[in-house]
Structures are given as structure tokens and as C-alpha cells.
């Protein structure tokens, strides 16, 4: 049974930082690409960042230079370090590895 459990969301001030975690079970973690998506009400779910089994990464233009995705295969966990947060980063953030989704964690950036 596959589980993806996100944590680390919360309320932060503009310019602040958060680190999201996604703990995976039921998959061969080291062989899977891992993805972070986000969704705001009224908008399509969008890809934020990806990290592949070989370690290469990809980022949305809107977060490039501010967010860093990483993985710890020994802990079956993928991370999203979010720096210099902006109000437009406010969204529900989801962990994804095809075809599985986590339940998401809310990030709110507000003063």
C-alpha cells in the first residue's frame, strides 16, 4: 500500500522560509521520480519542482532560484526548501510520484 505523507506547511511572513517533507512508503523510493505540485482555489494544479532517480532536478520558472528540491533515499523522504516566500506562493502543496498523490499540506504566505 502506497502512502505519501506531507508535512511542514504553515503560515509564514513574506520573505520567510519553510521546509516541506514528504515521507513515502510502499514504493521503491530510490527508483522513483518525486514531484511537488501546488494548487490554489480556481487555478490548475501546477508542477513546482521535480527530482529524478539520478538526482537531476527541474523547477517552475516562478520558483527557480528560491526553492530547492532534494531527496534522502535512506529515509524515503523528499524535501522542498522554500526561501524568499511570496504571497503568490500560497497554495496547497502536494507530493506526487506517478500515479500516487499525498494529501497535501497548506502553505500560507501573509503579513
The string of pLDDT tens digits covering residues 32-75 is 999 999 999 999 999 999 999 999 999 999 999 999 999 999 99
Q: What is the pLDDT of residue 30?
A: 87
57-73 b/e (C-beta count within 10 Å ≥ 16 → b): eebeeebeeebbbebee
pLDDT value at 79 more than 90:
yes
Amino acid at each position: 500500500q502506497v502512502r505519501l505523507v506531507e508535512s511542514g506547511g504553515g503560515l509564514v511572513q513574506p520573505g520567510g522560509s519553510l521546509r516541506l517533507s514528504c515521507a513515502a512508503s510502499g514504493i521503491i523510493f530510490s527508483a522513483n521520480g518525486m514531484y511537488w505540485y501546488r494548487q490554489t482555489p480556481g487555478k490548475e494544479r501546477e508542477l513546482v519542482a521535480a527530482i529524478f532517480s539520478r538526482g537531476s532536478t527541474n523547477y517552475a520558472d516562478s520558483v527557480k532560484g528560491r526553492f530547492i528540491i532534494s531527496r534522502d533515499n535512506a529515509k524515503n523522504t523528499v524535501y522542498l526548501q522554500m526561501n524568499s516566500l511570496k504571497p503568490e506562493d500560497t497554495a496547497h502543496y502536494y507530493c506526487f510520484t506517478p500515479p500516487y498523490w499525498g494529501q497535501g499540506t497548506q502553505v500560507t504566505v501573509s503579513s
